[in-house]
Structure 1
Amino acid sequence: MAPITSSREEFDEIPTVVGIFSAFGLVFTVSLFAWICCQRKSSKTNKTPPYKFVHVLKGVDIYPENLNSKKKFGADDKSEAKNKPAVPKTSLHLDLEKRDLNGNFPKANPKAGSPSDLEHLTPKTFSEKEQKESTSPDSLKSSSSLCSVEKQDKLGTLFFSLEYNFEKKAFVVNIKEARGLPAMDEQSMTSDPYIKMTILPEKKHKVKTRVLRKTLDPAFDETFTFYGIPYSQIQDLVLHFIILSFDRFSRDDIIGEVLIPLSGIELADGRMLMNREIIKRNVRKSSGRGELLISLCYQSTTNTLTVVVLKARHLPKADVSGLSDPYVKVNLYHAKKRISKKKTHVKKCTPNAVFNELFVFDIPCESLEEISVEFLVLDSDRGSRNEVIGRLVLGASAEGTGGEHWKEIREYPRRQIAKWHMLCDGFGLWRPL
């Protein structure tokens, strides 16, 4: 009976040991989980994602922290607070019925200010007087009497400010207003302007303002804040502004552009107010759109057409940075109907792209008489419409090297034939008949 008693005592001690180990395991697990949560929280608060930007519209800051704090700007904000009307900053309620065509609130006694006083005045103060003059009958008569040469030379002036916040590593661009824009609508003698801004040369950030209706002196007052840009890299950047006029029924009209190299501009002393004349955009000539190397092979037994997009060379620059991000769209047509479409990958920042991509198309008929292939070389542009660099059509009715290439693959089936082709103008696209 003694052995049986000792074994029972051992079994009674097992639950106590298990409970002790379980308690220690639970405490360790909770402590580890709490430590991981604290580490993630601290890393999120200290780490700012690179090149993040925040858009401030008409003085309403959508970021939790106010960038115009006294700690940041010092005495400049005190002087601005005296000149600004008393509007509650925390209130997001806006009386839209009291706004004018520019989206500004009317003022009782507007005072005209010089460009040097622009920093201490809101854009509404110095734009209302010119807005009245631009919409008066006298101004309409004077603008209509200008010759076409003067209209092309005088495209207006863009006002903006630049600033760098060292505490948050943020680059701040405030697009204030534009003055003296040309009228793009001949009937109403006005425009619907808005502005696109790109940071070159990498083109990572492409932002745009809202459209202001029927005005030649738009007051935008929109702030774009880019986070994660080191101050040492500011000197290597270039700001590219494109001023456009919105058109509901066709492509928007390009008024002009402004290019601001930041090399030599010191932002360490605080905010800098700048203005630049708007110049005519440098449009590419249609004579030099580059070349495209295409290889074709027609399989008469299987009724398939193999298309290889090999290379592109001497492509024109798509913007002022001199760099393009080309890719090729391939459209297969049977008579007037597009029956298939393909596209290559985007090649970053190069005028001489190497694609080497193969596409196989099934031909719906035994003859190539009604078949044509269209190649569109485009510049990839994030945030806006991709621009056509050049165009090429191969088919029986195509002229030049396009028709010769098509004739050779018909005479020599099952043979891969490659040729260089000059690209033509991509605007006003021709479609197969």
Structure 2
Amino acid sequence: MAPIAASREEFDEIPTVVGIFSAFGLVFTVSLFAWICCQRKSSKSNKTPPYKFVHVLKGVDIYPENLNSKKKFGAEDKEEGKSKPVMPKTSLHLDLEKRDLNGNFPKTTPKIPSSSDLENFTPKLFPEREKDSVSPDSLKSVTSISSEEKQDKLGTLFFSIEYNFEKKAFMVNIKEARGLPAMDEQSMTSDPYIKMTILPEKKHKVKTRVLRKTLDPAFDETFTFYGIPYTQVQDLSLHFMILSFDRFSRDDIIGEVLFPLSGIELSEGRMLMNKEIIKKNVRKSSGRGELLISLCYQSTTNTLTVVVLKARHLPKADVSGLSDPYVKVNLYHAKKRISKKKTHVKKCTPNAVFNELFVFDIPCEGLEEISIEFLVLDSDRGSRNEIIGRLTLGASAEGTAGEHWKEICEYPRRQIAKWHMLCDG
């Protein structure tokens, strides 16, 4: 039994030995880790940052190699400023193209000029005198002349016309436009396209595709019009409208070309044409025309009856001198549109007879905050309808419009009609 008791005592001493060794190992590991951290921290503080950044505007090296970790950027400059005279800002120049792969500037030793170099050295003053000899007045005159020429010239349109006797079709090929003005001031380009209309009937309206960012667009698009007898070609005119596409507002009008076909013989085949683009001819008359309106206010039902009767002396909104007018009626309550109506389109007439009645429900009692707007527009299939004239009737209106509104308020249930002059849209 004695050997068994001795072995038990040995086994009891093993845990104490293991605990002592583990404690020494733990202390050694912690001290080693702390020493490694201290070494890394000291090595980082002694080294320069691993990258270099150069300020593009001033050419100043943010982390120059000659600075230590304890010095702040700008401290050395202050000390040098006290001892050395202040240099002008123009004297600081760093050639960024002469840096090596690491971004460092090569150290160059100043070259001592020899006597022969000093003899051959002559200051270059003659070019500077030539620059000074140019007066600002001459520059202004040159720029003004060039700007005026650019404003007057709107470019040239190239197209061809042809008549196919077999198919009885009239063909127009829009080839290209050259020298268009820039309508976008930021990119100094345009997004041109062309609308073409055969006058005077305006039945045939076509347009080309939009070409992006070009002042010399090459369209090369052919349009064929069937059902036009050859005998009637002499009575037609081609109207080209050159525009620049604008995504956020109305397209900009560059100019127009009007080409009458009278006196042109198409029996010999295709004919090539080129015409200068001119400004759009906006023919201003003494007025925008007149509109005959009849109003009646029903106080019992709280409704307003509006009758658009006639329009006369409407201005010529087209090159052909013919307009396709219609009237759009908007009802406003406290400057907010609550209802809208419109008449039918009357074709090719400056004196239109509409005679159409509209009934509006008034949301409040009385007409103090109610106003009616009449817009006379020219219908155009190929583009947005242009406003010919505008008329507003309400309590704040002046002239005949204010008198007309006062009469319908004083005499309800009575139909009162008056002519009104249209103003610019």
What TM-score do you get using the length of structure 1 for normalisation? Answer: 0.64
Matched with 1:301 is: 300
Task: Note the C-alpha offset of 1:399.
Answer: 2.3
Aligned pair in 2 of structure 1 residues 178, 146: CA closer, same or farther (>3 Å)?
A: farther
Match of 1:203 in 2: 202
1:244 is the counterpart of 2:268:
no
Q: CA deviation at 1:149?
A: 3.2
Change (3 A) 1:309 1:205: same
For 1:392, the equivalent position in structure 2 comes to 391
Quick one: distance in 1 between partners of 2:266 and 2:318?
Answer: 26
Contact 1:292/1:421 (CA < 8 Å) preserved in 2? yes
Question: 1:157-306 alignment to 2 at 5 Å?
Answer: 157-285=156-284, 287-306=286-305
- Confirm or deny: 8 A CA contact 2:207 2:382 kept in the other structure: no
Q: Report if aligned partners of 2:195, 2:382 keep a CA contact under 8 Å in 1.
A: no
**1:156 aligned residue:** 155
**How far apart are 1:286 and its partner, in Å?**
7.4
- Runs (4 or more) in structure 1 with deviation over 3 Å come to 143-149
Residue 375 of structure 1 corresponds to which residue in structure 2? 374
Identify if the C-alpha distance between structure 1 residues 296 and 148 changes in structure 2 by more than 3 Å, giving closer, same or farther: farther
Please list the CA deviations of residues 234-273 of structure 1 after superposition, one character each: whole Å capped at 9, or x if unmatched.
0111100000111111111101100011110100000000
Deviations 1:362-381 (CA, angstroms, capped at 9, x unpaired): 11111101100010101111
- d(CA) in 2 for partners of 1:317, 1:198: 16
- Structure 2 residue identity aligned to 1:412: Y
Q: Could you tell me which residue of structure 2 aligns to residue 15 of structure 1? A: none
How many angstroms does 1:400 deviate by?
A: 2.2
**Distance in 1, Cα, partners of 2:195 & 2:306:** 37
- Write the distance in 2 (CA, Å) between the matches of 1:401 and 1:326: 23
Q: Residue type of the partner of 1:262?
A: L
> Hey, what's the Cα distance between the residues in 2 that align with 1:366 and 1:358?
22
| 1:287/1:424 contact within 8 Å kept | no
Q: In the alignment, residue 303 of structure 1 is paired with which amino acid? A: N
Partner-residue secondary structure (3-state), 2:363 = coil
- Give the secondary structure class of the aligned counterpart of 1:360: strand
| Paired position in structure 1 for 2:423 | 424
* C-alpha contact (below 8 Å) 2:244/2:251 kept by paired residues: yes
Give the whole-Å Cα distance in 2 for the aligned partners of 1:284 and 1:251.
20
Give the Cα–Cα distance (whole angstroms) in 2 for the partners of residues 278 and 302 of structure 1: 57
Q: Distance in 1 between matches of 2:285 and 2:337?
A: 26
Whether contact under 8 Å (1:331, 1:338) holds in the other structure is yes
Whether the 8 Å contact between 2:285 and 2:315 is mirrored in structure 1 is no
Which AA in structure 2 matches 1:377?
Answer: V
> With CA pairs under 8 Å and 6+ residues apart, which has the higher RCO, 1 or 2?
1
Q: CA-to-partner distance for each residue in 1:264-317, whole Å, 9 max, x for gaps?
A: 010000000000011111124375211101111111111111111111011011
Deviation of residue 341 (structure 1)? 1.1
Q: Which amino acid aligns with 1:326?
A: P
Cα distance in 2, alignment partners of residues 415 and 228 from structure 1: 52
Q: C-alpha distance in 2, partners of 1:246/1:234?
A: 31
Counterparts in 2 of 1:172 and 1:144: CA distance versus 1, 3 Å: farther
Q: How many correspondences in the alignment?
A: 285
- The alpha-carbon deviation at position 215 of structure 1 amounts to 1.1
Residue identity matched to 1:282: N
Partners in 1 of 2:393 and 2:276 — Cα distance?
44
Structure 2: distance between partners of 1:317 and 1:352? 11
**Amino acid across the alignment from 1:155:** L
CA–CA separation in structure 1 for the residues paired with 2:412 and 2:249 = 44
Q: Distance in 2 between matches of 1:255 and 1:273?
A: 23
Q: Which amino acid aligns with 2:191?
A: D
Q: 2: CA distance between counterparts of 1:151 and 1:395?
A: 46
Distance across 1 between alignment mates of 2:398 and 2:148? 38
SS in 2 for 1:324: coil
Corresponding residue of 1:406: 405
User: How many Å separate the matches in 1 of 2:231 and 2:285?
Assistant: 39
What whole-Å deviation, never above 9, does each CA across 1:343-396 have from its counterpart, x for those lacking one?
111111000001111111111111101100010101111132111111111001
The CA RMSD over aligned residues, in Å, is: 1.7
The reply on whether 1:348 has 2:333 as its aligned counterpart is no
For residues 305 and 371 of structure 2, what CA distance do their matches in structure 1 show? 13
- Residues 295 and 310 of structure 1 are in contact (CA less than 8 Å); yes or no, is this contact kept in structure 2? yes
Counterparts of 1:363 and 1:284, CA distance in 2: 39
Partners of 1:187 and 1:324 in 2: CA distance: 36
Structure 1 residues 406, 157: CA separation in 2 closer, same or farther (over 3 Å shift)? same
Q: 2:261 corresponds to which letter in structure 1? A: L
In 2: Cα distance, 1:152 partner to 1:313 partner: 36
For the 8 Å contact 2:257–2:277, the answer to whether it is kept is yes
**1:254 and 1:420 mapped to 2: Cα distance?**
34
Letter in structure 2 aligned against 1:220: F
Q: In structure 2, do the counterparts of structure 1 residues 254 and 144 end up closer, same or farther at CA, with 3 Å as the change threshold?
A: farther
Cα deviation per residue 1:144-173 (whole Å; 9 max; x = unaligned)?
875553233211110000000000111110
| Cα shift at 1:336 | 2.5
User: Matched residue of 2:163: which SS?
Assistant: strand
Compare CA radii of gyration and give the structure with the larger one.
2
Q: Does the 8 Å contact 1:286/1:425 carry over to 2?
A: no
Number of the residue aligned with 1:140: none
Equivalent pair of 1:389/1:425 in contact (CA under 8 Å): yes
| 8 Å Cα contact 1:313-1:352 kept in structure 2 | yes
1:185 corresponds to which letter in structure 2? D
Q: Which amino acid counterpart does residue 367 of structure 2 have in structure 1?
A: L
**Counterpart of 2:148 in 1: which secondary structure?**
helix
**Structure-2 residue corresponding to 1:318:** 317
Separation of aligned partners in 1, 2:246 and 2:317: 22
